[in-house]
Amino acid sequence: MMATRGPRARGTTYRQQINRAPSPWRVHSVPYLSIMLASALPVLLIADVMPLAPPLGFILLLAWRLVRPGLLPLWAGLPLGAFDDLLSGQPFGSAILLWSLAMIAIELIEARFPWRDFWHDWFTAAVLLVAYWLACLLLSGAPVTREMLEVAWPQALLSVLLYPILARMVARLDRFRLARARRID
Partner 1 sequence: MAPPAKRLSGFSKKAQFSLFTGYLMAGAGALLGLVLLALSLWQPAAFAPLRGAARDVVAPAGEVSSATRGGAQGLIAGIAAYLDAGRQNARLRAEVELARVRLAEAEAIKAENRRLKGLLGLADDPVRPVATARLVGSSATSARRHAYLGAGSRQGVAPGMPVVSDRGLIGRVLETGLISARVLLLTDSESVVPVRRARDDVIAFAEGRGDGMLRIRLVNLGVNPLKPGDLMVTSGAGGYYRPGVAVAVVAQLTPDGAIARLVAEPAATTYVAVEPIHQPAAVAVLSGAPLSAADAPQTPPRPASSPASGAGSAPPSAEAAGE
Which one among 8, 9, 11, 107 touches partner 1, defined by CB under 8 A? Answer: 107
Stretch that binds partner 1, among 4-12, 26-34, 137-145, 174-182 (CB under 8 A): 137-145
Identify the residue among 9, 21, 47, 127 touching partner 1 (CB under 8 A).
47
For partner 1, which is the closer residue by CB, 104 or 161? Answer: 104
- Phi and psi at 180, nearest 5°, equal -80, 95
| CA 87 from centroid of its chain's CA atoms | 17
CB 96 → partner 1: shortest distance, Å?
3
| CB distance 163 to 129 below 8 Å | yes
Of the residues 9, 33, 127, 144, which one makes contact with partner 1 according to CB under 8 A: 144
Ranges of H-type helices in the chain: 2-9, 15-16, 24-40, 56-67, 77-88, 94-112, 118-139, 146-177
CA atoms within 13 A on the CB side of 57: 25
Shortest gap between Cβ of 74 and partner 1 (angstroms)? 4
Q: Which residues contact 152 (CB under 8 A, 6 or more apart)?
A: 50, 51, 133, 137
Side-chain-side CA neighbours of residue 101 (13 Å): 11
- Decide: is 77 part of the binding site for partner 1 (CB under 8 A): yes
Between 30 and 63, CB nearer to partner 1: 63
Q: Which range binds partner 1 by CB under 8 A, 18-26, 27-35, 42-50, 122-130?
A: 42-50
The separation between the first and the last C-alpha atoms of the chain, rounded to the nearest angstrom, is 33
User: Which member of 23, 32, 100, 122 binds partner 1 (CB under 8 A)?
Assistant: 100
- Report residue 21: phi and psi, to 5°: -135, 155
Site for partner 1 contains 61 (CB under 8 A): no
Residues forming the site for partner 1 (CB under 8 A):
40, 42-56, 66-70, 73-75, 77-78, 81, 83, 85-101, 103-104, 107, 110-111, 114-116, 121, 136-137, 139-145, 147-148, 150-152, 155
